[in-house]
Structure 1
């Protein structure tokens, strides 16, 4: 009789294409199915998210918006992120299952795959396990992409789990799984591309990608990460490695980028983002009724009662709310 001990097993390897200096680790594996021009587009997209994060963070501090989450250090995995934790996981599996049924009922339906992004903190929620188990047992065409950035808000991974990251959970559910270097956009792209192909095989199956990275920013505008981690650790990661620095080095090694292009591009992107932000600020907010729609085809009795209660409340205290900032004002309710 023998018990399996996780600590005696090797950790799952991490797939990477280029190192932190932007050098391809296997010269026989140089990315060949993408042009340098397209890679520059990727780089500009990552710069856009990075610059937008700084602008939005500052805008929140100025009281121009209420809440914002940044993506610094994770630009090579998912660009922008959102706050709700794990709420999309079961729904993603359900959507993939629906797509599979539709394809079975109508062979002419184009094959499709659902992609679901989430952080390693979301993998501590029950919804994560329900989603993966359903996807595995129903062979749903879905690619789960986990951004393991080291922290779930203020909780480091050492306090979240004792197993081999999130990848080991995919194996436990019988799902084909790969761990990739999330700071290597080439590795993320290759893994995602292959995962999509595999997810469509034999009528569909789930795939899990765990992308390893580090969250160099605060979790959100409501967070001060230096309360639970050392500032020197964050500064070291900023200086040492992140998706933007690594891809810039690759482009510079190719002779396709330089400091002059960097500064001009950053200036152009900042101006474009500020222009869009200022235009958005001048727009009316959505109608108040939108708080109740897009959940059910028809409003339920409870929703109707809630909407009426809100209308009466706003009529009673008209000076406490900026109702006219919304389309149609109170009439829209």
Structure 2
């Protein structure tokens, strides 16, 4: 199956007969703004982690089109189950930099109310969110509400037992659920070519899911396919699967060095397909981007960067020695000793 594409890396539109989309200046400028802001947040958070302000950060660099194109095809009332790098999707749902950074700062397990944004907390355990999404979709089905559930995951998570069980259960129960796989080519240091022999969308079809594959660096194609698939699910068509072919341009996390397992030439080939750059080419060719628009976006990104730095440093660091209090119902001598050693370790960094 050839990946659906509406916008080439050269910025040229390629209308698709099966996936129509009204490509307007307003739509393209909105997508461009959302992707630029997501990348700005990503860059600032990376810098904050390197400065010791965040314990960890998992970048979404290169995957902005897959997230923005898909999340904007959903209704605000549709529930989303993310993995751990859906920062662009989170921003689109209105989640703030403060709420996004709390977890990575180490203050709480999550910084936002899932019910408020219809966006579940991040799940760091691979594929754990897929059975959760399937169960939630079963509830939606039984309640008879007009809602579609969306869950994000990566190619690495697709190899987990939880993923395959969720695919089968969702198909067998015929629930209103969209599995959205961002195939970014690498499961940490394991490439897809050694992780699997059959493309993900074909595996999904084998479970009975309505499966599709799209150029994940083409925000227009992602939006068109997601919109069409969600409409079919909402009308009672059953669960579906979209494989968005994209690329993780950074490391798996800030503790990973991708230079140890992938080549510069591979990275360069994907940089040439950068999702933001290709949309910018379209805006320029169509005359939909002028100096005023550029200045507006640059200023908004500058403001977001300053806000991200400010709110991060204002987040208080928690007292993690309390973690030892809830390991067992009654403390043991070993736990008490470990807690004391931890407190002494933390105190050693004080001025």
Give the match for residue 182 of structure 1: 216
Say if 1:317 and 1:170 are closer, same or farther in 2 by CA, change over 3 A.
closer
Say if 1:102 and 1:42 are closer, same or farther in 2 by CA, change over 3 A.
same
Give the match for residue 298 of structure 2: 266
* 1:312-327 paired onto structure 2 within 5 Å: 318-321=343-346
Rg larger in structure: 1
Residues 299-333 of structure 1, C-alpha deviation per residue, up to 9 Å, x if partnerless? xx976557xx98996578645447xxxxxxxxxxx
* 1:242-281 paired onto structure 2 within 5 Å: 242-258=274-290, 261-262=293-294, 265-281=297-313
CA distance in 2, matches of 1:114, 1:175: 14
Larger RCO (alpha carbons 8 Å, 6+ apart): 2
Structure 1 residue 143 corresponds to structure 2 residue 184: no
Structure 1: 4+ residue segments shifted above 6 A: 27-30, 286-292, 309-313
**Could you list the runs of 5+ residues in structure 1 that have no partner in the other structure?**
1-11, 104-109, 293-300, 323-333
Give 3-state SS (helix, strand or coil) of 1:180's partner.
Answer: strand
TM-score norm. by structure 2 comes to 0.74
Give the match for residue 114 of structure 2: none
Say if 1:36 and 1:305 are closer, same or farther in 2 by CA, change over 3 A.
farther
Give the match for residue 207 of structure 1: 240
Give the match for residue 45 of structure 1: 34
**Could you list the runs of 5+ residues in structure 2 that have no partner in the other structure?**
69-84, 87-121
Say if 1:233 and 1:161 are closer, same or farther in 2 by CA, change over 3 A.
same
Q: CA RMSD in A?
A: 3.1
TM-score norm. by structure 1 comes to 0.78
Say if 1:221 and 1:100 are closer, same or farther in 2 by CA, change over 3 A.
same
Provide the aligned length of Structure 1 versus Structure 2: 295
CA distance in 1, matches of 2:65, 2:323: 33
Say if 1:284 and 1:62 are closer, same or farther in 2 by CA, change over 3 A.
closer
Give the match for residue 168 of structure 1: 202
Give the match for residue 44 of structure 2: 55
CA distance in 2, matches of 1:282, 1:49: 21
